[in-house]
Amino acid sequence: MTEIAAQPKRPTTPDELSAAIAAAAQTGTQIHLTGSNSLPLTRFDAVRPVQTISTLRMNKLLEHAIADMTVTVQAGITLESLQKQLAWHNQWLPIDPPAPGGRSPGHRTIAGLIATNSLGPLRFGCGDYRLLVLGMRWVDSAGTLIRAGGRTVKNSAGYQTNRLMIGACGSLGAIAEVTLRTYARPADEQCVLFFCDSYPQAETLLAATLQSATVPAYVEMIGGRSFRANPLQLPASPAILVIGFLGRPEVCTAQVQAVRNLNEARNIEAISQTAAQAGRLRLWLTTEPAADVGFRIHALSSQVCPLMEQVEALAAKTGESWLVAEAAAGIIRGSVKTSDASNFWTQLREIARARDVTILATQGNFPGTPARDDDLLRRLKTELDPQNCFGLPPVN
Amino acid sequence: MNATAEPFATEVQQAFAQLRTLLGPGGIIADPDELVVYECDGFTIPRARPLAVVFPTHTQHVSEILKILSRHHLAVLPRGSGTGLCGGIVAVTPGVQVSTARMKTIHQIDVRNRWALVDAGVLNLRLSDAIADAQLHFAPDPSSQRASTIGGNVATNAGGLHTLKYGVTVNHILGVEVVLADGSIHVLGGPHGHDIGPDFTGLICGTEGTLALITRVWCRLIPKPRAFRTALAIFDSTQHCCQTVADLIAAGIIPAALEMMDGAMIRIVEDAFHLGFPRSAQALLLIEVDGPEIGLEEDMNHIEQLARKNNATDIQRGSDPARRDALWSARRRAFAAIGRVSPSYCTQDACIPRSKLPMVIAKIAEICTRHHLQITNVFHAGDGNVHPVLMYDENDPAAVQRTLEASGEILRFCISVGGTVTGEHGVGIEKLPYMRDMFSPDDLHAMHRIRRALVTDDQMNPFKVLPRDGVTIDLEHPQRHVPQ
């Protein structure tokens, strides 16, 4: 049984974070890093004590280089707080990560988002953390504060250890500060919803959209059962494809029209949505209800429709479900309320194995897909965290 | 590494014998006269011949080669096309260059899912040419793209003319297959890209062959822009030109490309390519916006407004594909055109915050004047990635020395204003001395630890990228000062 230290530590600066980690390391105590704790993925040794270290008090915006379009923040600043401060200068971070369990994505911390590689629909058109993260300060298992990357939009100096922290779930070090690039807030957002009769029809339209001259910022697919709860009270169909655009109003309008004019869209009912509604819909698509099982499947775009059809059929036999995909990026997110979570997970994992895609549990404690090659992780853990204080990321 | 003469020579001969057995006699070059062309890359000051160059044709070859070299304690010097610009392939310690020149198969192209799997030796432009009919391309476009390999692009995290909008190489790599020094083969990422777990692919990008040898790459493909507008903005002052760049970025405008040339470079390019550039201009911006047709005119209007606010004397706009090709071709060949006016040149690659551009360009000019050096600038202004080109005669030792001193001053100044010593060329051996200005001992120690985790006997391109205590590499005599 894992013994958790009575008092979590709540550093307010990188130096305090460094000291807290150093103190834990001296006694071989495992270190459970938390931000908003919305996606607890790291696995620990059950027989060793664990010290929780929360970064929520490390929540300052340190420098906003407005003219350079970069911002440097502490690890525990929430996405909502950061976006508010950037908005004062008409800038933003183009990320809209999900928050499993019905929680608000805005309360997630920047370091937590980076450490879990959490992104949402805008990933497709606006990029990922490799693009957004310019530099970082992180703390290793001995409590040493280390700088990686820099503050310029291009940098090839040395090893970019900041990239190693993306998706690592804190297993190699604790993020203390991050420098990110920012963008001008788009003038407008518009989207069009296509109510497809079937997943094969949706795939045909999806493929045509990706081949077209349009430049979508996001392309989402949602199952009919899940769409019934949409905030715009629109009717459902078996599969709904949502294609969104960001930019100047006339450009968004023209691109929406261009998609609607595709041959493959001709016989599909479609509704366009303008700014407030489009944004509201997009953010609703990132909200994953609290459930017994939550999952994230990482596939190719062409696998999304057949996988959604298969997973939806499985979920329908089990209980209330939620299923949405970043259709162009190949990411499927879902959750299921069921009294037999373990059996559901086993079958879901088998579907993933048969399709040669990876799966990760985002709610519930279930094993994800085995890592294809964990030798590098093992070598780096041996060197950077020899006592395995930081735990392991959710790959076997 | 065992370097006493006789046992070392024996090790080398044994290794060569095994390599010949593995690759055939045509798979290895060991004649010193034939190795001359392999003694440097595009940075021609440091030169040192490798012991040999070997040419594997597939990943298993690479694995066997590295095992052989490891057994005989010989350094592995990964080589693409040798177009690097910082001495990354120079044999500062006895070693064998492992060239990917014969690993040039495009294995798979998945148009629907926008990825391609290629051997590391596939030339950058060849991939885009192969997928052009599908209206896709591989976005990283360094000036060397006709000659540089994708593996080399990954190893240096190459940039190019359109990184301002599309990002650098790492943003277009879904996965890599690599071989470590012990010969083990590892697949990092893949067509799905990176999800959870440390981003090993992201780490490998830019490590210049010091962690692993890249054998295959999963490349992300993106749509070719369907429409574009190109403009030339002419200025009678480099400061006005630089300020325009700073203002564009601050306004949140992201052109597809934003390149600057100063007056000296304008005249060099005009003499070489006759594009109608005004010879009296002190600076010009080459600007491109791309994407869906609608909106491009408005984008250009906004850019023109800012340029005129900063006293642009003329702005030429157009959408003629032939003119566009000519302009970008001239930009890409600008460095080659310098050869008409100077026997040698050395270019720097610092990247600075864009708001500092006017100040940095002025400082670079002052430094070069003080060192009695002729200089010209052609660079990726939108990224803040400056490329001051210092012209010199390599047969004049004093000129070489002044060039190296001026380069050092420029780099240190760029670091002092929050920049980095290299935006896209890499560290190699050229920028080793400045790494301690950028990073603390703890920062560098962390990088060394990562290397130690993956490279057990220090064979992978040693003495590159990361400075070492007690080791100084003399660029003019790179093999002399490395302790054995």
Least Cα separation, residue A184 to chain B (angstroms) = 5
Q: Which domains does chain B have, with CATH numbers?
A: 227-331 (3.30.70.2190), 342-416 (3.30.70.2740)
Tell me the pairing of strands B222-223 and A50-54: unpaired
User: Cβ contact (<8 Å) for A146 and B443?
Assistant: yes
pTM of the model: 0.95
Q: What is the pLDDT of residue B329?
A: 84
Bridge partners of residue B28, in order along the sequence: B54
Q: Which of B199, B419, B447 sits opposite A152 (nearest CB)?
A: B419
Q: Provide the chain B residues 441-480 that lie in CB contact (below 8 A) with chain A.
A: 442-444, 446-447, 449-454, 465-466
Q: Each residue of B346-399: pLDDT tens digit?
A: 889 999 999 999 999 999 999 999 999 999 999 999 999 999 999 998 889 999
Q: What is the pLDDT of residue A40?
A: 63
**Partners of residue A304 in chain B, C-beta under 8 Å:** none
Q: Each residue of A79-105: pLDDT tens digit?
A: 999 999 999 999 999 999 998 777 788
Comparing A396 with B105, the larger pLDDT belongs to: B105
Q: What is the pLDDT of residue A80?
A: 96
Least Cα separation, residue B139 to chain A (angstroms) = 14
User: Cβ contact (<8 Å) for A166 and B198?
Assistant: yes
User: Cβ contact (<8 Å) for B427 and A248?
Assistant: no
User: Cβ contact (<8 Å) for A167 and B199?
Assistant: yes
Q: Which two tokens stand for residue A289?
A: 């209800």
Q: Each residue of B132-157: pLDDT tens digit?
A: 999 999 999 998 999 999 999 999 99
Residue A98 to residue B147: CA distance in whole angstroms: 43
User: Cβ contact (<8 Å) for A164 and B424?
Assistant: no
Candidates B350, B407, B410, B356; CA nearest to B380 is: B350
User: Cβ contact (<8 Å) for B446 and A69?
Assistant: no
Least Cα separation, residue A233 to chain B (angstroms) = 32
Question: What do you get for the CA distance between the two ends of chain B, in Å?
Answer: 7
For residues B217 and B150, the answer to whether their CB atoms sit within 8 Å is yes
The most distant pair of C-alpha atoms in chain B lies apart, rounded to whole Å, by 72
Rounded percentage of chain B residues whose pLDDT exceeds 90: 81
- B359: contact with A, CB 8 A cutoff: no
Least Cα separation, residue A335 to chain B (angstroms) = 18
Q: Which long-range contacts (CB under 8 A, 24 or more apart) does B12-18 make?
A: B12/B51, B12/B72, B12/B74, B12/B94, B14/B72, B15/B68, B15/B69, B15/B71, B15/B72, B15/B74, B15/B96, B16/B52, B18/B68
Phi-psi region of B311 (alpha: psi -120 to 50; beta: other; left: phi over 0): left
**Partners of residue B348 in chain A, C-beta under 8 Å:** none
Answer whether residue B326 shows pLDDT above 90.
Answer: no
Q: Which two tokens stand for residue B113?
A: 């899912």
- A143: contact with B, CB 8 A cutoff: no
Tell me the pairing of strands B75-79 and B95-99: parallel
Q: What is the pLDDT of residue A212?
A: 94
Contacts of B294 (CB under 8 A, 6+ apart): A250, A251, A254, A255
| Extended beta strands in A203-352, E state | 218-223, 239-247, 269-273, 293-298, 321-326, 331-336
Sign for the CA dihedral angle at B275, B278, B280, B281 comes to: negative
Residue A3 pLDDT class (50, 70, 90 cuts): low
Least Cα separation, residue B289 to chain A (angstroms) = 14
- B376: contact with A, CB 8 A cutoff: no
> What is the DSSP track for A339-386?
S-HHHHHHHHHHHHHHHT-EEEEEESS---PPPS--HHHHHHHHHH-T
Q: What is the pLDDT of residue A18?
A: 98
Q: What is the pLDDT of residue A396?
A: 46
List the single best residue of B108, B192, B386, B415 to mutate versus A (max A Cβ within 10 A): B192
Over residues A300-309, the mean pLDDT reads 97
Least Cα separation, residue B176 to chain A (angstroms) = 12
Indicate the average pLDDT of chain B. 93
Q: Each residue of B154-185: pLDDT tens digit?
A: 999 999 999 999 999 999 999 999 999 999 99
Residue B117 pLDDT class (50, 70, 90 cuts): very high
Q: Provide the chain A residues 1-40 that lie in CB contact (below 8 A) with chain B.
A: none
Residue A235 to residue A222: CA distance in whole angstroms: 13
Q: Which domains does chain A have, with CATH numbers?
A: 1-185 (3.30.465.10), 188-281 (3.30.70.2190), 293-363 (3.30.70.600)
Q: Which of A153, A254, A394 sits opposite B292 (nearest CB)?
A: A254
Least Cα separation, residue A135 to chain B (angstroms) = 11
Q: Which chain A residue has its CA at the smallest distance from B180's CA?
A: A376
Which amino acid would we find at residue B480? R
Which amino acid would we find at residue B183? G
Q: What is the pLDDT of residue A83?
A: 98
- A251: contact with B, CB 8 A cutoff: yes
Rounded percentage of chain B residues whose pLDDT exceeds 70: 98
Q: Each residue of A188-223: pLDDT tens digit?
A: 999 999 999 999 999 999 999 999 999 999 999 999
Over residues B225-229, the mean pLDDT reads 92
Q: What is the pLDDT of residue B61?
A: 97
- A127: contact with B, CB 8 A cutoff: yes
Q: Each residue of B205-219: pLDDT tens digit?
A: 999 999 999 999 999
Q: Provide the chain B residues 419-438 that lie in CB contact (below 8 A) with chain A.
A: 419-427, 431, 435, 438
Q: What is the pLDDT of residue B482?
A: 53
Comparing B424 with B6, the larger pLDDT belongs to: B424
Contacts of A281 (CB under 8 A, 6+ apart): A191, A193, A230, A231, A232, A242, A273
DSSP state of A290: P
- B187: contact with A, CB 8 A cutoff: yes
Indicate the average pLDDT of chain A. 92
